[in-house]
Amino acid sequence: MILVTGGAGFIGANFVIGWLDGVDEAVVNVDKLTYAGNLGTLRSLHGDLSHIFVRADICDRETMDVLLAEYQPRAILHFAAESHVDRSIHGPADFVQTNMMGTFTLLEAARHYWSTLPDGEKSTFRFLHVSTDEVFGSLDAGDTPFSERSLYAPNSPYSASKASSDHLVRAWHHTYGLPTLTTHCSNNYGPFQFPEKLVPLMITRALAGDPLPVYGDGKNVRDWLYVGDHCSAIRAILSKGHPGETYNIGGWNEVTNIEVVRTLCDLLDELRPKRTGSYKDQIAWVPDRPGHDRRYAIDARKLEREIGWRPAETFASGLAKTVQWYLDHPHWVGEVASGDYRKWVETHYAKSA
């Protein structure tokens, strides 16, 4: 049994679905179901006795203690986080509460639970904390990519709250001996991503005939990681990672934002052509956002050297899969956009009560 937090969000849900598809081990899936947590994403697991969903807040220490005592997981995989930079700029309090206080609460619950385990189970227990490359700040064009030894320099309320949570995880390992693992991933994309993020935002707005807003000059660079690759890396790190270590997970795909948007437009022109013109005609330039980091790049050689992992998808193959998924799943996109999935959640829980 493993326990996953944030398993109804984008990365967490992809992890849970992939785990149960390939591993014969049950999952306790804990999610508060905020705006980006969509239980509808997990419909394929309905009736699967290996998937135990619990609607709960990781800041609720009493509930976390009860869940750990009841299910006795061999590992906790901590995905739960507020993760959108723009939202953090306008409302940082939620990010401090979830990313900092939530991680603190979960660490304390895990420490208490871990301390009660028999020696054999205690030595194999893991607390895997999923973080971001944004904690390292911004790179210039000629700078070397972020490594696991890069200094922290967060520039947004979101990245500052994640940096704080990373420090807590590190301290709980070094002070209390809790066997932790921390991962820093680059920009994820793929199925089930909430439409406020760049890739699904551009796909959904393009199909709706709306302008495609690009910040500043569009030359901000990100390393792009297909979510399925990210999940496979986490499985590998959980299996082979050394307690107390951090691992960078990257896709080896540095691409500017405008290149991402234009590539998406090219794919849509091919797969769902407009009656006239190109989707590129909808590109609209907008003023840059405050504190917009110029470049992120991940050096993931440690992960390859010590764990033997490399991404399976190129940027071209991963983006093509992503566009096709959104074209094939308009119902999911419509539910998220309209809020109907929230009604489904309330109905589901009423029936389950």
Q: Give the catalytic positions in this structure.
A: 133-134, 158
Query: What's the rounded Cα separation, in Å, for the pair 83 and 87?
Result: 8
Q: Which residues contact 150 (CB under 8 A, 6 or more apart)?
A: 136
Do 248 and 307 meet the contact criterion of CB atoms below 8 Å apart? no
Do 8 and 80 meet the contact criterion of CB atoms below 8 Å apart? no
Query: What's the rounded Cα separation, in Å, for the pair 149 and 54?
Result: 36
Q: Which residues contact 46 (CB under 8 A, 6 or more apart)?
A: none
Do 41 and 200 meet the contact criterion of CB atoms below 8 Å apart? no
For every residue of 185-232, DSSP letters joined together read E-EEESTT--TTSHHHHHHHHHHHT--EEEETTS--EEEEEEHHHHHH
Residue with tokens 């937090």: 5
Q: Tell me whether strands 221-226 and 254-256 are parallel, antiparallel or unpaired.
A: antiparallel
